[in-house]
């Protein structure tokens, strides 16, 4: 009985397989050309009844494998009339097709030797459609989830980890994970973003988690970047100094070449994949792939990288985007960023995932909702618990991320306990031989948020030993309150052995309103001071540039309203010459005219007022903190100071005013410009002392001084009293020129140019200079520096023409993502 059942079952299977065995497959192949017999690339050939298809290659050739029977083949190509052909397939056969050009959505496409590739016609239509997809709404609101993570990898550990690792066959994936604590930096946040066309923007940070080092993490605020490829230029200050040219900018064909890689269907939607290739090795061009919707002619996704030579902090950076539609409105659904930072020891691999959801459009906002405050963080944003994050995360954490967060949460719970705080405080507060001799001692109380710091023995040696060997000692006290208010007290004492003189003083600073940067400083000191605060290096330590001063000062600064800062001070100074001071005779010949400045002992009581205003200053509001982002408008400064005679023994009578304007801005792909213009004069010099003069600084040999503050080739320092006009200008090309020169474009060398003008009518003096040079960014560990060599040409009506080579080394400010010039 069992054998009979087996036989019937086998016969049944054989009967089922007969139709499949009876079906024969045949190949249909051929070429698709235009009426000029030129091959058409990217023609989509589809067997309609089977739902399968192929795309013609660079020779216009296609090939389909069809079952026996009658089939309808469709041939579609942008810019050409579609054609459908019925073909019976009973043998392998060749079917060549000619498509006629037609006026369609792309318009008439002229096919030439230079533009055989269909991608150019597609991109051209995308460019024409940009405005349509840019102006789909008046306002937009969306939720954004961001997870930005960096993995810190030691290169030596990589070599060790590359050794073969034998695992048990029954070991689970989770159990086989490395049990060591992952070295990660992590940022996680939930934002609500509001946009109002054309320029309204507001970010609300409702929840955030910060673990580890945050400085190099990307997209910790949506103000970090806006990769809107519908814009001609994309500016991302976090990446570097360049503005990037969009692959679909209005002039994209001047910057990019394109190649159609293929097409496919998602449902009924046809999608083209196009390769984006920079025409030249430029600093401001993307490279990679973009996907375009057929008939809609807009970007579906991007997968692009930016050139290494355009990056400052990062060594590699790439971006992926995906778009979809909601109620016929195109929306961004996700962004993925990846970056890498390398040095000789470590590799930092970073990735950021941003998920966009809950779109609403054309909402009504209050008139003042969109203002200079671009982003605001909720007061409880950093206090969300684990259950909150588990609920709102659209994507799960990886094993390493989950392990790292659990570890950090445990550490944070322990760190907040009194036992832990007391234990680590006791370790920090221990007095050791190394602390006493070199690093300095401290006493911290984390529960009370106080810290005492005491100088080491090495720090007792005064680096500027005026009048012979001197020793000093200082300590400080700092307390920070829960609302970020703080107080800082720092006394010091300084003793000179040759003259048996005691110097020293104290300073008390209190920050009483962190959101407005409001602080008060009280200080008193007896110390040496400079006659010329901005003396050249040759003159800075000349004895003629020093005097003794006993001063008491009260200083206050605050922001009255956004972008408008006011500072004021009052102080009393007793100034004495050093003519009776004993100096080290070994340094008598170091400087020319090395005798101390001789003047009458005088007292100066002075008040000053300073106003700084930056119109439409943009900023971010954090709990108890304000982060200034800058403005597209110049910054204006007004400084006025006046001495008051006959009060507190004051004999000086001086009034001085200075007005200035400065700005730094980007000029598209051409680089970054910076300028400053200032005018000043004394209004009263009835009784003015040499340390009150306004000095025009001379140049330094070989050193290129900050060109926004100093001139390079003025032959000697001189004072001005009745008025002066200073102007400075610098333009950093950021690789715009050198990136187009073969060989040089691989060196990372950049160019810079600028100039300055100084007018001093009272001396009938005019000085002007032009300079140009090259610079290159280099690194020491994770710190970036810029080494520059410049050639300066100067002219004045007193010294004629002069020239010279100079060099500079400038550090990169990672906090502001900027250079000093």
Residue-wise pLDDT for 449-458, tens only, equals 899 999 999 8
Least confident of 15-24, 386-395, 810-819: 15-24
Q: Above 50 in pLDDT, residue 14? A: no
pLDDT of residue 417: 62
How many other CB atoms are there within 10 angstroms of residue 270's CB atom? 19
Among 146, 127, 243, which Cα is nearest to 203's? 146
Range with the poorest average pLDDT among 7-11, 507-511, 520-524, 713-717: 7-11
Between the CA of residue 618 and those of 192, 472, 599, 697, what are the distances in Å? 18, 43, 48, 34
pLDDT at 591 over 70: no
- pLDDT band for position 589 (50/70/90)? low
* 287-304 average pLDDT score: 94
Give the three-class secondary structure for 422: helix
Could you write out the DSSP letters of every residue in 257-274? EEEEEEEEEETTEEEEEE
Query: Cis omega (within 30 of 0) on the bond before 127?
Result: no
Residues 333 and 322 sit within 8 Å (Cβ to Cβ): yes
pLDDT at 743: 81
CB 576 within 8 A of CB 548: yes
DSSP state of 101: B
Higher pLDDT among residues 158 and 659, named by residue: 659
End-to-end CA gap in the chain: 96
Helix axes 418-428, 399-415, angle to 10 degrees: 80
Could you give the CA distance from residue 516 to residue 527 in angstroms, rounded to a whole number?
Answer: 32
What is the pLDDT at residue 178?
41
Mean pLDDT calculated for residue range 334-362: 92
Q: Which residue has the higher pLDDT, 201 or 270?
A: 201
pLDDT in the model for residue 428: 74
Q: How confident is the model at residue 419 (pLDDT cuts 50, 70, 90)?
A: low
Neighbours of 414 (CB within 10 A): 12
Higher-pLDDT residue of 755 and 93 is 755
pLDDT over threshold 60, residue 161: no
State the Cα–Cα distance between residues 804 and 703, nearest whole angstrom.
10
Highest mean pLDDT among 323-327, 478-482, 747-751, 756-760: 756-760
- Is 418's pLDDT higher than 70? no
- Write down the number of H helices and E strands in the chain: 9, 42
Q: What pLDDT score was predicted for residue 176?
A: 31
Residue spans of beta strands (DSSP E) within 481-517: 486-496, 501-513
Phi, psi of 796 (to 5 degrees): -145, 160
3-state secondary structure at position 445: strand
CATH class of 2-115: mainly beta
Give the C-alpha separation, 285 to 185, whole Å: 29
Q: Which residues contact 308 (CB under 8 A, 6 or more apart)?
A: 315, 316
Is the per-residue pLDDT at 234 higher than 90? Answer: yes
179 pLDDT tier (thresholds 50, 70, 90): very low
| Beta bridge partner(s), residue 340 | 316, 349
Closest CA to 311 of 284, 288, 338, 349: 284
Task: Give the HSE-up count for residue 420: Cα atoms under 13 Å, Cβ half-sphere.
Answer: 8
For 72-115, the pLDDT digits (tens) are 999 887 777 889 999 888 888 899 999 988 654 444 343 343 44
Q: What is the mean pLDDT of residues 302-312?
A: 92
Give the number of other CB atoms < 10 A from CB of residue 639: 17
Residue 64 neighbours by CB distance under 10 Å: 21
pLDDT single digits (tens) 556-573: 999 999 999 999 999 999
Residue 342 or 189, more confident: 189
pLDDT over 90 (residue 466): no
pLDDT in tens, 433-445: 888 888 889 888 8
Q: Quick: pLDDT tens for 528-556.
A: 999 998 888 888 778 889 999 999 999 99
The confidence score (pLDDT) of residue 735 equals 84
What's the confidence (pLDDT) of residue 543?
87
Helix or strand (DSSP H, E) at 348? strand 346-361
Residue 175 has pLDDT above 50, yes or no: no
Query: Ramachandran region of residue 296, left (φ > 0), alpha (ψ -120 to 50) or beta?
Result: alpha
Domain boundaries, the chain: 2-115, 127-160+180-413, 464-651, 657-821
Token digits of residue 755? 């100039």
How far is CA 514 from each of CA 34, 210, 215, 378, 814, rounded to the nearest angstrom? 71, 21, 21, 16, 22
Q: What is the pTM of this model?
A: 0.79
Strand partners, 71: 87
Kindly report the number of other CB atoms within 10 A of residue 326's CB atom: 12
Residue 395 confidence class, pLDDT cut points 50, 70, 90:
confident
- The predicted pLDDT at position 438 comes to 87
pLDDT at 128: 92
What are the structure tokens assigned to 738, written together? 């050198």
Does the structure show a pLDDT above 90 at 38?
Answer: no
Q: What is the pLDDT of residue 590?
A: 62
Identify which has the larger pLDDT, 196 or 37: 196
pLDDT given for residue 1 in this prediction: 44
Q: Give the model's confidence band at 167: pLDDT under 50 very low, under 70 low, under 90 confident, else very high.
A: very low
The answer to whether 619 and 626 have CB atoms below 8 angstroms apart is yes
């Amino acid at each position: 009985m069992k054998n009979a059942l087996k036989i019937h079952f086998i016969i049944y299977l054989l009967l089922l397989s007969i139709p499949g065995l009876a079906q024969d497959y045949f190949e249909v192949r051929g070429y698709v050309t235009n009426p000029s017999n030129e091959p058409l690339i990217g023609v989509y050939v589809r067997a309609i009844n089977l739902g399968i298809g192929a795309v013609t290659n660079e020779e216009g050739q296609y090939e389909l494998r069809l079952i026996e029977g009658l089939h309808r083949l469709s041939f579609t190509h942008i810019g050409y009339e579609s054609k459908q052909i019925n073909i019976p397939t009973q043998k392998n056969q060749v079917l060549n097709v000619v498509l006629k050009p037609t006026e369609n959505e792309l318009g008439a496409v002229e096919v030439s030797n230079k533009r055989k590739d269909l991608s150019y016609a597609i991109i051209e239509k995308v460019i024409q459609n940009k405005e349509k997809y840019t102006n789909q709404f008046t306002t937009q609101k969306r939720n954004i989830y961001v997870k930005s993570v960096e993995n810190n990898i030691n290169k030596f550990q990589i070599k060790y980890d590359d050794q073969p690792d034998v695992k048990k066959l029954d070991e689970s994936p989770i159990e086989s994970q490395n049990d060591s604590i992952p070295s990660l930096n992590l940022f996680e946040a939930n934002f609500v973003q509001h946009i109002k066309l054309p320029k309204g923007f507001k970010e609300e940070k409702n929840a955030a988690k910060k673990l580890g080092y945050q400085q190099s993490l990307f997209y910790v605020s949506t103000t970090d970047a806006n990769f809107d490829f519908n814009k001609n230029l994309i500016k991302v200050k976090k990446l570097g100094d360049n503005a990037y040219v969009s692959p679909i900018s209005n002039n994209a064909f001047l910057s990019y070449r394109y190649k159609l890689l293929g097409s496919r269907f998602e449902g009924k939607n046809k999608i083209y994949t196009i390769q984006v290739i920079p025409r030249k090795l430029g600093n401001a061009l993307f490279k990679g792939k973009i996907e375009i919707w057929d008939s809609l002619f807009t970007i579906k996704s991007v997968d692009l990288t930016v050139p290494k030579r355009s990056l400052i902090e990062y060594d590699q950076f790439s971006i992926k985007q995906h778009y979809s539609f909601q109620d016929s409105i195109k929306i961004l659904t996700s962004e993925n960023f990846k970056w890498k930072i390398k040095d000789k020891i470590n590799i930092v691999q970073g990735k950021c995932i941003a998920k966009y959801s809950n779109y609403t459009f054309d909402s009504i906002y209050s008139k003042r909702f969109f203002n200079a405050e671009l982003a605001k963080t909720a007061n409880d944003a950093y206090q969300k618990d684990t259950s909150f994050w588990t609920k709102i995360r659209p994507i799960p954490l990886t094993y390493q991320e989950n392990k790292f967060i659990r570890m950090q949460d445990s550490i944070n719970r322990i760190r907040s306990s009194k036992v832990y705080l007391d234990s680590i405080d006791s370790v920090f507060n221990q007095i050791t031989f190394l602390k006493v001799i070199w690093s300095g001692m401290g006493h911290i109380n984390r529960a009370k948020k106080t810290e005492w710091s005491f100088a080491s023995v090495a720090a007792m040696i005064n680096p500027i030993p005026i009048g012979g060997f001197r020793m000093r000692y200082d300590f400080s006290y700092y307390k920070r309150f829960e609302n970020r208010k703080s107080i800082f007290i720092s006394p010091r004492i300084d003793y000179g052995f040759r003259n048996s003189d005691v110097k020293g003083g104290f300073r008390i600073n209190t920050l009483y309103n962190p959101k407005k940067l409001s602080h008060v400083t009280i200080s008193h000191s007896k110390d040496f001071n400079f006659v010329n605060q901005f003396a050249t290096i040759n003159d800075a330590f000349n004895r003629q540039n020093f005097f003794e001063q006993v001063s008491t000062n009260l200083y206050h600064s605050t922001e009255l309203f956004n972008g408008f800062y006011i500072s004021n001070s009052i102080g009393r100074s007793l100034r004495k010459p050093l003519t009776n001071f004993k100096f080290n005779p070994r340094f008598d010949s170091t400087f020319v005219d090395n005798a101390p400045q001789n003047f009458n002992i005088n007292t100066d009581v002075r008040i000053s007022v300073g106003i700084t205003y930056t119109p439409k200053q943009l900023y971010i509001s954090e709990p108890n903190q304000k982060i200034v982002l800058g403005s597209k408008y110049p910054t204006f400064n007004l400084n006025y100071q006046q001495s008051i005679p006959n009060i507190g023994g004051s004999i000086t009578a001086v009034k001085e005013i200075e007005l200035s304007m400065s700005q730094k801005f980007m000029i598209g792909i051409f680089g970054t410009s910076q300028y400053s213009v200032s005018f000043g004069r004394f209004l009263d010099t009835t009784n003015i002392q040499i340390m009150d003069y306004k000095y025009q600084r001379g140049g330094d040999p070989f050193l290129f001084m900050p060109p926004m503050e100093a001139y390079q080739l003025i032959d000697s320092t001189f004072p001005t009293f009745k008025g002066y006009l200073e102007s400075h200008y610098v333009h950093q090309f950021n690789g715009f020129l050198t990136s187009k020169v073969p060989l040089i474009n691989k060196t990372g060398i950049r160019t810079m140019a600028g100039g300055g003008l100084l007018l001093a009518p009272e001396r009938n003096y005019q000085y002007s200079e032009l300079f140009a040079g090259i610079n290159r960014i280099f690194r020491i560990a994770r710190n970036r520096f810029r080494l520059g060599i410049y050639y300066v040409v100067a002219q004045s009506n007193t010294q004629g023409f002069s020239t010279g080579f100079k060099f500079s080394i400038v550090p990169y400010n990672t906090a502001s993502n900027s250079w000093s010039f």
